[in-house]
Every structure is written in structure tokens, then in C-alpha cells.
């Protein structure tokens, strides 16, 4: 049998169950009409159409299973009313549970009752199979009794195309279950590339959402009426994520994608694309009258933040994770936004986007920050204390001008320039703490020159005789960092910061006097903790007989007389990408004349134009271990600095300075 004909079981009130065979392809008009004893129907995937009135007056039918299948099932209607609302196919059935295993096709018109399940208030539970790719308009409109929606594959659910806001049963059920467990913390699988329109509409059971790097778009109304979502994490990625909207209003203010969500915590791991216009709600995270958003983190992969992104938000904290690339903000990204705590892990543009934020009371920096740009925190009247980052080289014009509550600022060893107006108008400034043993270049109005200037004890005289630093009314010597010193491999270290785990080199031991080569590590272990080596103190290597010295990338400053009297020095390799802060007195004239300075190739111009590093008569490019493979091609002869041949290749050579001949080409390299 391939079909169940018209009226075959019409009025069979005693029929309580029916099994439809897999050979059946059609069910005719009125086929089961009036079967009041029928409680459950299983429609196999072989059936492709069900006629009009097929289940009319089936007042006992509470369970319907439409089996999984690839072919859409065409459904008729229950009542055709041209003059008023009609009735969908199952209108007369008090359905409580529904399994929908494939797409449905039906007439979408009020004349035919909009949809097969329209207005069935008895419906409590819907299960959606993995073969469903589309759910039509009004499918579950006014099914107000729905309590739960069940699925077994989140990726399949995300790919469903819901035709309108009434297509998704979650609009009424509010609770989504995955393999029997309610979805509270939503994790989108990595196989998903797009989240469709209305995908999680009305899902009030959701409290957090994780969107992986694989997702490139989220449709309109995807989180409409999700009134419990407090956390959204958008995973790091290189491909931008396109976001839809929550509501479009042609003549007024619309709603952004997460408008209905009481977001408190947000992580943005990549660039976002959205319609930054009032008709679409300005941005995905803006609410019209109130914002719950408190903690925002912007990941290292993000290169730009769009217009109005955090408009009128009152943020407790904003964290911009460390990165070497400038983060670009639209000029209106923070329009009307107040921020209490800011961690700045990299430079931003425009640099003044946080200026004038009177609520900012806590400010911290990452070590990728090389300069505090013009006017960056001007008029941030709530700042009381600032510790600038270890990698910093300059504080530019008006950077902290008129920060009237600022009482203390700590300036790290690598800072070489403090520009005009940098701390002008900081009327409450009580202490300026300098880590650099070398006085930085300042201008007449860099400070108001009030309070106490604390400087490294061994450099007090140099600050005291300086024409501008000496204008501070009080000049005090202080021991930078802790009181802890320790020795490792013939070098003495002083802990400059326990919090940042940094040390400076203060001296070389007597044993080091007999060592021809000295290589300073980037980090050193002490008491099971790694400390970054950031500086060389005054007089650290004075009168030492080193022939070659290599300094790591982490070095930010070289103190006064640090290499004074090092008459044997012939090679100095500095791996820092930014030239460390250094004084003319750090080296003797004989060193400038006789030693070769090796520097990173990418920083050659900076070193050559530096007023001190540029004094080295002989300068060359440092060749690191990454370059050895390229240099091993062809026949190579290696000589020491005395001209004695020591090898026919670079492999296996210890760190040091060598002369390399390849054919007629001769060069000096540092390994």
C-alpha cells in the first residue's frame, strides 16, 4: 500500500493506535478525521504529503512523531476560512509532545491557519531532529504552553533557517536541552561557521555564550529576548565576525544584537562588523536606557573597534590585552562611556580616546607600551597613582596633564624623554619615583616641579646638578625595588620589582675579571621564580676586562659608568629592539672608538641616530641563531677576533663574536 486514501478511517472513534508502513507516501483528506481515541501518530519518512482535515476532531491525539528524512513533508489544513482565520492541520489535536524530523511545507496564510501547529496551547515539548534545515513562518506562534525544546546536535541547530520570530519554538519554551541536559552555558561547536537568524530567540535559560573562531556571522535576532545572558566570549581569531541586529526601527532607535541580554562580562577576540547606525541600535552591546556591561576584555588579535561599540556603558574594567600592533578605535567607540579601571596592553589610536574620563581611578600597562602618546590621559581627574610600564621609552606631550588627583608616579628605567606638559597641572603630585639611573630628557613644563623626586641612590648627584630635575624642591635617594641581591654565573643582580619580576645587574664578581666573553640572559631564576633582566646599574662592569658582551632584548637602560674602564672591550651586542636608555658617561671614548656595536637589523636606524649609541665608530648587524641556516649554504671559514681560523662552518659554535669568510665576502657576526 502506497497511500491512505480520503476518509479511510474517518469517524473511527474506537481506533486507538495506527502504524503507518514505510511504503506509504500519501495520507488523504479526512483520513483520520474524528478518530477521538487516537493518542499517538508516527509518520514515517516515506510520507511526502498529508491532505486537508486529515486529523480533524482528533481530540485525543497528544503525541506526533514526524520521522527524520531529507524530503520535505507537505501538509494540508484543517479549516479554510476566507473571511476569518482558518485552522492549521493539527488545530483540533491537543498535542503535548512533538518530534519534528524534517522540513515541512504548508500554506502560509491566515485563511489556512498560518501553520499546522499555530495556537496549540497544549504543546509542551518539541524535539527537533538533525535533518531539519528550515522551519517555516508562524510555525509555533501562540504555542504558549511550550516548556522545552530538545536537540541532539548543536551544530545542526545553528544551521536551521527560521523564517520569522514565531518559527522558533524557543520563543515560547525558553529552555533548550542538548541530549537531555539543559543548555545554560552555550558553547558553539568549532564546525559551525554561521549562526542563523532567531537561532536562540527567547532562550532565557542561557547564562553564557562562547562563540568560536570558526563562526564568521551571527544573524539578526539570534539572541532576541535572551534575558539571562550575562557573559559572552568571542574567541580569538583572524577573520572578522559579522553581527546582525536585534530590532530595526525605520524612524527611531533600533536595537543591537545583544540588546535584550543583561551582559556583564564580554571578551572580544577578533574584529567585529556591524551596522553602526541608530536604526540598528548603534552597536551590538548598547542598550537604550541602561547598560549592565561592566567588564570588557579586548584580545590581542583585535585591530579595530567600531563606532559606538560601548556607547553610554559604565564599565568597571576595560582590559586591552598585550600586543605589538596598535589597536584602532573609532572616534565614537566610547561615546558617553565611563571607565573605572583600565589595563592597557598596547598602544591605541586615537591616543586621546581615554582622555577626560573622570571616573578612571585605576590604570595599569603592559610592557608592549613603548610610549604614552600625546594627551592620552589628559584631564583624567580620578587617577591617584600611576606606575608606568617597564618597556616605556617616552612620555609624550600632555600625557597626564591636569590629572589633578595624581599623587604618585613611578617612571621606569627605559624612559628617555618626558615631553612638554606631560605632568603639567598635576596639582596633587607628591612623589615622582625614578628607576632610571640616567636622568631622562625633560622640558621646562614637563612637571610643575612640586613634591619629592626620588632617584636611585647612586645617581642622586646627577639629578641634583641637572638644570631641570634639580628644580624639584625635595630630592631623595631611594633603593629601587627590594633589598634583595643575589649572584649567578659571576654576575650580581638586584631585584627592582617583585610585582613585575624584574632585576638589574649591579656588578660582576671577581671571577668575571678573567672571563673574556659575557652573555647576559633575558631572565634569571632565583628562589624558584624567573626574573626579567631589564637594566644595568651605574658602575656595574667598571674596569672589567671583557672582550665581548651581549645584552638581551629585555635591557631597557645602561647606567652611568657601566662600562667605564673596559679597555679590552672589542664587541658589544645589544639585542633590544628599542635602543636602551644610555648616557655618554656609560662608556669611555676608547670603547666608542675601538669596539664594534652589533644591533638588530630592524633597529639599525634607531641606533645609528641615537645620540649615544651612534657614537660607536664601528657598527654592524647582529646575526642571531635564526640566521645560521641561511649562512651555512656554501663554503664558510670562521675565524676568531685574532684572525685564527677555528672552523669551516657555524654549526656547533658557542655564542660569541666571529669573522666569517664566504668566498670573497668577509663579515663580522655575533652568535
Strands (E), 500-540: 502-508, 517-519, 523-526, 529-536
Higher pLDDT, residue 481 or 151: 151
Residue 300, pLDDT score:
94
Distance CA 266, CA 317 (A): 11
Distance CA 111, CA 27 (A): 22
Residue 26, pLDDT score:
97
Whether 235 contacts 241, CB under 8 Å = no
* Cα Rg of the chain, angstroms: 36
Q: 248-269 in b/e burial notation, b at 16+ Cβ within 10 A?
A: eeeeeebbbbbbbbebbbbbbb
Instruction: State whether residue 170 is helix, strand or coil.
Output: helix
Name the grid cell of 443. 622640558
**Mean pLDDT, rounded, of the chain:** 89
Give 232's contacts (C-beta < 8 A, 6+ positions apart).
208, 209, 211, 258, 261, 263, 265, 266, 267
Distance CA 168, CA 181 (A): 19
Instruction: Give the tens place of pLDDT for each residue, 369-418.
Output: 989 999 999 999 999 999 998 889 999 999 999 999 999 999 988 899 99
Give the mean model confidence (pLDDT) for residues 415-428: 96
Instruction: Give the tens place of pLDDT for each residue, 321-331.
Output: 998 889 999 87
Which of 25-39, 399-413, 485-499, 511-525 has the weakest average pLDDT? 511-525
Residue 339, pLDDT score:
95
> 389 preceded by cis ω (within 30°)?
no
Residue 625, pLDDT score:
44
Beta-bridge partner residues of 26: 3, 49
Give the mean model confidence (pLDDT) for residues 428-453: 94
Counting every residue, how long is the chain?
671
Distance CA 77, CA 116 (A): 7
Residue 63, pLDDT score:
96
Instruction: Give the tens place of pLDDT for each residue, 32-45.
Output: 999 999 999 999 99
pTM reported for the whole predicted model: 0.83
Give the mean model confidence (pLDDT) for residues 481-493: 83
Residue 433, pLDDT score:
94
Give the mean model confidence (pLDDT) for residues 310-319: 92
- 85: pLDDT strictly greater than 80: no
Give the mean model confidence (pLDDT) for residues 489-497: 87
Residue 656, pLDDT score:
63
Residue 528, pLDDT score:
86
Q: 621-660 in b/e burial notation, b at 16+ Cβ within 10 A?
A: bbbeeeeeeebeeeebebbebeeeeeeeebeeeeebbbbb
* Whole-Å CA distances, 521 to 82, 390, 573: 86, 17, 12
Residue 628, pLDDT score:
47
Residue 113, pLDDT score:
67
DSSP single-letter state for residue 512: G
Residue 633, pLDDT score:
47
Amino acid at each position: 500500500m502506497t497511500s491512505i486514501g480520503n476518509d479511510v478511517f474517518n469517524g473511527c472513534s474506537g481506533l486507538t493506535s495506527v502504524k503507518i508502513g514505510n511504503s506509504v507516501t500519501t495520507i488523504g483528506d479526512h483520513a483520520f478525521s474524528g478518530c477521538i481515541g487516537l493518542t499517538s501518530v508516527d509518520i514515517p519518512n516515506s510520507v511526502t504529503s498529508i491532505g486537508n482535515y486529515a486529523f480533524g476532531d482528533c481530540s485525543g491525539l497528544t503525541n506526533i512523531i514526524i520521522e527524520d528524512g531529507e524530503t520535505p513533508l507537505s501538509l494540508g489544513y484543517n479549516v479554510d476560512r476566507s473571511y476569518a482565520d482558518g485552522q492549521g492541520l493539527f488545530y483540533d489535536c491537543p498535542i503535548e509532545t512533538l518530534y519534528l524530523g524534517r522540513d515541512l511545507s504548508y500554506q502560509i496564510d491566515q485563511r489556512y491557519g498560518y501553520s499546522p501547529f499555530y495556537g496549540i496551547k497544549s504543546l509542551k515539548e518539541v524535539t527537533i531532529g538533525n535533518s531539519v534545515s528550515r522551519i517555516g513562518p508562524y510555525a509555533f506562534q501562540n504555542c504558549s504552553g511550550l516548556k522545552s525544546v530538545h536537540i541532539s546536535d548543536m551544530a545542526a541547530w545553528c544551521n536551521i533557517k527560521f523564517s520569522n520570530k514565531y518559527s522558533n519554538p524557543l520563543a515560547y519554551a525558553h529552555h533548550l536541552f542538548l541530549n537531555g541536559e539543559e543548555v545554560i552555558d552555550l558553547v558553539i561547536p568549532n564546525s559551525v561557521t554561521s549562526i542563523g537568524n532567531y537561532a536562540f530567540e527567547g532562550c532565557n535559560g542561557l547564562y553564557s555564550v562562547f562563540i568560536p573562531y570558526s563562526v564568521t556571522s551571527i544573524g539578526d535576532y539570534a539572541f532576541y529576548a535572551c534575558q539571562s545572558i550575562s557573559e559572552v566570549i568571542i574567541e580569538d581569531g583572524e577573520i572578522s565576525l559579522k553581527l546582525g541586529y536585534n530590532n530595526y526601527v525605520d524612524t527611531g532607535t533600533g536595537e543591537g544584537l545583544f540588546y535584550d541580554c543583561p551582559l556583564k562580562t564580554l571578551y572580544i577576540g577578533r574584529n567585529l562588523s556591524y551596522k553602526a547606525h541608530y536604526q540598528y541600535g548603534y552597536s551590538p552591546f548598547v542598550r537604550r536606557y541602561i547598560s549592565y556591561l561592566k567588564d570588557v576584555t579586548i584580545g590581542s588579535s583585535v585591530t579595530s573597534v567600531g563606532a559606538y561599540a560601548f556607547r553610554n556603558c559604565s564599565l568597571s574594567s576595560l582590559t586591552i590585552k598585550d600586543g605589538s600592533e596598535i589597536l584602532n578605535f573609532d572616534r565614537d567607540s566610547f561615546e558617553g562611556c565611563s571607565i573605572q579601571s583600565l589595563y592597557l596592553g598596547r598602544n591605541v589610536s586615537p591616543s586621546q580616546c581615554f582622555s577626560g574620563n573622570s571616573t578612571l581611578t585605576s590604570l595599569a600597562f603592559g610592557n608592549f607600551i613603548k610610549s604614552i602618546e600625546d594627551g592620552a590621559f589628559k584631564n583624567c581627574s580620578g587617577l591617584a597613582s600611576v606606575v608606568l610600564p617597564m618597556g616605556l621609552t617616552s612620555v609624550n606631550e600632555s600625557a597626564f596633564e591636569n590629572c589633578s588627583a595624581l599623587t604618585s608616579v613611578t617612571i621606569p628605567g627605559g624612559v628617555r624623554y618626558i615631553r612638554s606638559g606631560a605632568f603639567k597641572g598635576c596639582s596633587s603630585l607628591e612623589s615622582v619615583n625614578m628607576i632610571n639611573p640616567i636622568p631622562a630628557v625633560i622640558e621646562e613644563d614637563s612637571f610643575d616641579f612640586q613634591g619629592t623626586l626620588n632617584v636611585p641612590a647612586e645617581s642622586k648627584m646627577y639629578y641634583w646638578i641637572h638644570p631641570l630635575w634639580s628644580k624639584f624642591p625635595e630630592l631623595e635617594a631611594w633603593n629601587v625595588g627590594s633589598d634583595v641581591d643575589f649572584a649567578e654565573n659571576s654576575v650580581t643582580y638586584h631585584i627592582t620589582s617583585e610585582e613585575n619580576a624584574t632585576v638589574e645587574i649591579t656588578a660582576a664578581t671577581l671571577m668575571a675579571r678573567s672571563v673574556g666573553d659575557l652573555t647576559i640572559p633575558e631572565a634569571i631564576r632565583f628562589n624558584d621564580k624567573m626574573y626579567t633582566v631589564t637594566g644595568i646599574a651605574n658602575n656595574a662592569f667598571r674596569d672589567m676586562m671583557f672582550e665581548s658582551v651581549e645584552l638581551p632584548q629585555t635591557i631597557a637602560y645602561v647606567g652611568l659608568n657601566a662600562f667605564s674602564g673596559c679597555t679590552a672591550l672589542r664587541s658589544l651586542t645589544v639585542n633590544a629592539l628599542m635602543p636602551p636608555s644610555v648616557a655618554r658617561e656609560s662608556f669611555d671614548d676608547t670603547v666608542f672608538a675601538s669596539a664594534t656595536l652589533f644591533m638588530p637589523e630592524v633597529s639599525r636606524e634607531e641606533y645609528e641616530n641615537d645620540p649615544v649609541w651612534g657614537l660607536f665608530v664601528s657598527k654592524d648587524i647582529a646575526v642571531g641563531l635564526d640566521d645560521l641556516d641561511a649562512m651555512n649554504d656554501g663554503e664558510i671559514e670562521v675565524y676568531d677576533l685574532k684572525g685564527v681560523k677555528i672552523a669551516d662552518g657555524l654549526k656547533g659554535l658557542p655564542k660569541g663574536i666571529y669573522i666569517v669568510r664566504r668566498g670573497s665576502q668577509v663579515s663580522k657576526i655575533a652568535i
